[in-house]
Each structure stands twice: as C-alpha cells, then as structure tokens.
Amino acid sequence: MTKKQTYSIGELAREFDVTTRTIRFYEDQGLVSPSRRGQTRIYSPADRVTLKLILRGKRLGFSLAESKELIGMYQPQGDNRHQLLALQNKIQQRREQLEQQLRDIHALQLELDDAEQRCVDAMKELEN
Amino acid sequence: MTKKQTYSIGELAREFDVTTRTIRFYEDQGLVSPSRRGQTRIYSPADRVTLKLILRGKRLGFSLAESKELIGMYQPQGDNRHQLLALQNKIQQRREQLEQQLRDIHALQLELDDAEQRCVDAMKELEN
DNA sequence: CCCATTCTTTACGTTAACGTAAACTTCCCC
DNA sequence: GGGGAAGTTTACGTTAACGTAAAGAATGGG
C-alpha cells in the first residue's frame, strides 16, 4: 500500500485546515488545476504539493499572485533564470523583513520587561 | 536647542513615510489624539512615539486594534497585570510565527538552490 | 494682494482573500 | 426510496487599512 494517489477537495481541506471554498478560490486564481471526474474535482499528489506551497507562501507573507509565480518555478520549462533571480530577490527581501521583525520583537520584549517591573513595583507599593 | 517640541502632520508623515491620510486615520481609530491650534493638529513628542509604536506593530503583523492595546500598556494606570499577560501571549505567538517563517525560508532556500542547479545544468546541456 | 502650500472635513472607492448563502446534483446506506 | 453527506455553480457580502477626490480655510512670502 503506497501513498494515496488521489484526493477529494474535502480531504485536502481537512488536512490543511482550510475550507473547500478556499481551495476552489485558489483554482479560480489559477494556482491549481485539478482534473475532473464528471463535475467532481480530483486532486493529484502534485496538486497537494501545490497547496502546501501556497500555504507556506501565505505564512511567509507572499500574496497569492507571488505564490503563483513561485510555484511556476517548480515546473522547469526552459529559461527559468530570469524568474529565478526575481524569486531570489523576494526571498532576500523576506529575510531582511524577518531580521527587522526580530529586532522589533527584541525591543518589544525589553519594554515588556520594563512594564512588568513597574507593575510588580506598583503591587509591592500596595502591600505596604 | 533641545528636541523639537511639536510637529505638524506633514512633518510626521514625511519622517515616517506615510501619508497624512494615514495619520488622520489612526486618530479616527483612536490611536493618537493630537492637540489642536484652531483646526490644525499639533503633535507632541509623545504622539510621535505613539506613531512609532504603531508602525512597529505593523511590521510585526499586529492589527491596528492590537497595536492600540499594546500602546495602552505604556500608560500605567493601576492594574496592568491582566493586559500585560495578554500582550505577552501575543508576543509569544509572534515569536513562534517568526520561527515558523524562518523554517519556511530555509526550506524555500533549499528548493531555490535545487532549482538553480537544474537551471545551470540545463544551460550546460545547451552548450554541447 | 495674490498665489502657492499646507492644512481641514466629508465621503465614496479599492484590494485581497476569502465568507456565506442559495439552489441543485450525486452517491451511499439501510 | 428517503435522507444525509459531500460535491457543484453562481453570486453577493465582508474586513482592514487606507486611497482618492472635492471643496474649502489659513498662512506666509514676494
């Protein structure tokens, strides 16, 4: 018994914790193109991977349009060089944004520590 | 000559690279409350700090409502303990999200390296 | 005094990423 | 064969965070 070869929209929705509406929306936007059996959508393992990539893109703050570009990279079709560079630029931007976020979080934590201290002090004051 | 004591909306907009509309919107949402000289808004250094905090919040993915909460923390007014805990929870969530993003970026980079390699290979192939 | 800036209020418009609802077909089970 | 459960299409609704436009007041320089 090897891996599952096809998936229904409901199965994928459950697995990735999104609604079927969401998955259909991605199809509408041209990010996935499942085959059909009659009316019903049949998703392949490749489609499943595509969904995974979309969701990872979302976590990274990519728009659906950007994720679509990104996913296009995985189907090598001649000269990816240009798109590859564009993509690497975006990754680099995210990296820098991440670093900024880390700095921001650190600053916020320092202020939190300070606020906490003031809070503790105020409570001690009340105990006297 | 010490630090500037007041700012116009335009000055702040320029300094933080946002539009005046944006700053007025924040006021509308109750995040800043500049004083007035007639109709005209006059911003204090404290207002300026508030703006900074809002923008940092944005960089961290906080909504304006969340940033508003956060900013409330800086005016100690009795029992901050509850809000302090809530805020720390949010910080923790952001931290975890950041770590997930870092993992995602690493995975993406590996795939990029792979794509790049395939790209180089394809070009070598063409040279023969 | 006039003109260009900078300010003001009011209010409708926009975008992304879905949510929600209606109305219908298909399939499976007992 | 009745009735869920899961699938389908179509289409209008929603939210956040501003954008954009209109129309008018105030101010400072030449």
Q: Is the CB of A22 under 7 A from strand D?
A: no
Evaluate if residue A105 carries a pLDDT over 70: yes
Residue range A93-103: mean pLDDT, rounded: 87
Instruction: Work out the minimum CA distance from A103 to partner chain B, whole angstroms.
Output: 10
Closest residue of chain A to B114, computed from CA coordinates: A74
Protein-contacted positions of strand C (CB under 7 Å): 6-11, 16-21, 26-27
Q: Does B116 touch chain A (CB under 8 A)?
A: yes
Cβ of residue B39 lies below 7 Å from strand D: yes
Average pLDDT over residues A71-85: 70
Buried residues in A75-94 as b, exposed as e (16+ CB within 10 A)? eeeeebeeebeebeebbeeb
Amino acid at B47: D
The pLDDT mean for chain B works out to 86
Domain boundaries, chain A: 1-64, 76-128
Distance CA A106, CA A125 (A): 29
Taking the alpha carbons at both ends of chain B, their separation in whole angstroms is: 72
**How many angstroms is C1' of C18 away from CA of A65?**
15
Burial class for A8, CB neighbours closer than 10 Å (0-12, 13-18, 19+)? middle
Q: What is the mean pLDDT of residues B65-86?
A: 76
Tokens 């995985």 -> residue: A74
Residue B2 has pLDDT above 80, yes or no: no
Cα of A65 to nearest chain B Cα, Å: 17
Nucleotide of closest approach to B22 (CA, C1'): D18
CA quadruple B90, B93, B95, B98: dihedral positive or negative?
Answer: negative
Q: How far is A38 from chain B (nearest CA, A)?
A: 35
Quick one: which H or E segment has residue B35?
A: strand B35-37
For CA atoms B33, B37, B38, B43, the dihedral sign is: negative
- Comparing CA positions, the residue from B39, B65, B70 lying closest to residue B53 is B70
Confidence of residue B109 (pLDDT cuts 50, 70, 90): confident
Q: Summarize the confidence of residues A23-35 as an average pLDDT.
A: 96
Tens-digit pLDDT profile for residues B7-66? 999 999 999 999 999 999 999 999 999 999 999 999 999 999 999 999 999 998 899 999
Average pLDDT, chain A: 86
Whether the predicted pLDDT of A34 surpasses 80: yes
Across the A:B interface, residue pairs with CB atoms under 8 Å apart total 83
Distance of alpha carbon A120 from alpha carbon A113, whole angstroms? 10
CA-nearest of A31, A39, A40, A33 to A8 is: A40
Average pLDDT, integer, range B76-98: 77
Of the candidates A64, A102, A121, the one whose C-alpha atom is nearest the C-alpha of residue B99 is A102
Fold observed for domain B1-64: Multidrug-efflux Transporter Regulator; Chain: A; Domain 2 (1.10.1660)
C-alpha separations of A79 from A75, A89, B93, B119, B121 in Å: 11, 17, 41, 7, 11
The nucleotide whose C1' lies nearest the CA of A23 is C18
Q: Which residue has the tokens 């393992």?
A: A45
Instruction: Report the alpha-carbon distance of residue B98 to residue A63 in Å, rounded.
Output: 18
